[in-house]
Amino acid sequence: MLRFLLFLFTSFSLLSLAEDRIIIPKDLVTLDSDYPNATAVLIRDDRIHAVGAKEDLIKEFPNTPVDSTHKNDVLIPGFIEHHIHPLLAAITMNSEIVAIDDWTVLNKKSTGIRDREGYLKKLKELESSMNTNDPLISWGFHHYFHGKLTKDDLDKISSDRPILIIHRSFHEFIMNSKALEFFGIAKEDLKGLNAEEKKLANYEEGHFSERGLIMVMPKIMQFLAAPQRIIGGLSITEEYIHKQGITLIANPGAMYNKLTQGAKNYVFGDTDTPFRSLFIPSALYMLEHFNNSELLEETEALLNWGEGKVQYLPKHIKLFSDGAMYSQNMVLRDGYLDGHQGVWLMEEDIFKETFRIYWDAGYQIHIHQNGDSGLDRILEVLEENMARNPRDDHRTTIVHFGYSAFDQIEKMKQLGVIVSANPYYVPVLSDLYSKVGIGYARSQEMVRLGDVARANIKLSLHSDMPMAPASPLALIHAAVNRINYANEVAGPNQRISSLNALKGVTLNAAYVLGLESDYGSISPGKYANFTLLEDNPLTVDHLLIKDIKVKGTIVEGKLFGF
**If DSSP states are collapsed to H, E and C, what string results for 197-245?**
HHCCEECCCCEEEHHHHCCCHHHHHHHHCCHHHHHHHHHHHHHHHHHCC
What DSSP letter does each residue of 448-459 carry, written as one string? Answer: -HHHHHHTT--E
Show the DSSP H helices in 244-371 as ranges.
258-268, 283-289, 295-301, 348-360
Helical (H) or strand (E) element with 79: strand 79-81
Residues 6 or more apart from 349 whose CB is under 8 A from it? none
Could you give phi then psi for residue 456, rounded to 5 degrees? 60, 35
The residue range of the domain holding 205 is 93-224
CA angle, corner 357, sides to 351 and 358, nearest 5? Answer: 90
**The predicted structure's pLDDT at residue 480:** 98
* Residue 387: other Cβ atoms inside 10 A: 8
CA–CA dist 200, 13 (Å, integer): 54
Domain annotation covers residue 205? yes
* pLDDT (0 to 100) of residue 517: 98
Question: Is position 65 within any domain?
Answer: no
Residue 196 lies inside a defined structural domain of this protein: yes
Q: How many angstroms separate the CA atoms of 487 and 431, rounded?
A: 9
Residues in the chain: 562
* 97 within 8 A of 139, measured Cβ to Cβ: yes
Q: Which of 128, 87, 106, 99 is nearest to 224 (CA)?
A: 87
What is the rounded CA–CA span in Å between residue 320 and residue 283? 8
Identify the helix (H) or strand (E) that includes residue 2: helix 2-17
pLDDT of res. 8? 36
- Cα distances from 533 to residues 6, 22, 226, 538, 559, in angstroms, run 32, 18, 37, 12, 14
Residue 554 within a domain:
no
Rg, Å, the chain Cα set: 24
- Nearest alpha carbon to residue 233 among 190, 258, 267: 267
Q: What is the pLDDT along the chain (562 residues), one digit of tens a residue?
A: 333 333 333 433 343 445 799 999 999 999 999 999 999 999 999 999 999 999 999 999 999 999 999 999 999 999 999 999 999 999 999 999 999 999 988 878 999 999 999 999 999 999 999 988 899 999 999 999 999 999 999 999 999 999 999 999 998 999 999 999 999 999 998 988 998 888 899 999 999 998 899 889 999 999 998 888 999 999 999 999 999 999 999 999 998 989 899 999 999 999 999 999 999 999 999 999 999 999 999 999 999 999 999 999 999 999 999 999 999 999 999 999 999 999 999 999 999 999 999 999 999 999 999 999 999 999 999 999 999 999 999 999 999 999 999 999 999 999 999 999 999 999 999 999 999 999 999 999 999 999 999 999 999 999 999 999 999 999 999 999 999 999 999 999 999 999 999 999 999 999 999 999 999 999 999 999 999 999 999 999 999 999 999 999 999 999 998 8
Residues 171, 464: Cα–Cα separation, whole Å:
13
Is residue 312 in some structural domain?
A: no
Query: CB-based contacts of 102: which residues, under 8 Å, 6+ apart?
Result: 109, 110, 111, 112
SS (H, E, C) 146-166: HCCCCHHHHHHHCCCCCEEEE
Alpha helices for 372-512 (secondary structure H): 372-388, 406-415, 425-435, 440-444, 449-454, 472-481, 498-504, 507-512
Pairing of strands 47-52, 96-97: unpaired
Residue 255 DSSP class:
-
Residues 474 and 151: their CA atoms lie apart, in Å, by 35
Whether the CB-CB separation of 307 and 280 falls below 8 Å is answered with no
With a CB cutoff of 8 Å and minimum separation 6, the contacts of 415 are 379, 382, 383, 386, 396
Strand partners, 282: 318
Q: Which of 310, 307, 246, 234 is nearest to 277 (CA)?
A: 310
CATH number for 179: 3.10.310.70
- Chain centroid to CA 342: 22
User: 71 Cβ partners below 8 Å, 6+ apart?
Assistant: 24, 25, 26
Cα separation, 92 vs 97, in Å, equals: 7
- Nearest-angstrom CA–CA distance, 481 and 534: 20
The residue among 351, 489, 334, 501 whose CA lies nearest residue 422 is 501
Whether 106 is in a domain gets the answer yes
* Residues forming a β-bridge with 559: 554
Give the 3-state secondary structure of 15-75. HHHCCCEEECCCEECCCCCCCCCCCEEEEECCEEEEEECHHHHHHHCCCCCEECCCCCCEE
pLDDT at 10: 40
Please check whether residue 137 lies inside any domain of the structure. Answer: yes
Report angle CA 24, 26, 31 to the nearest 5 degrees: 80
Measured distance CA(385)–CA(404) in Å, rounded: 21
Q: How many domains does the chain have?
A: 1
Residue 134: inside a domain, yes or no? yes
Which residues lie below 8 Å from residue 58, measured CB to CB, with a gap of 6+? 22, 40, 66
User: What single DSSP character describes residue 313?
Assistant: P
User: Is the bond into 466 cis (omega within 30 degrees of 0)?
Assistant: yes
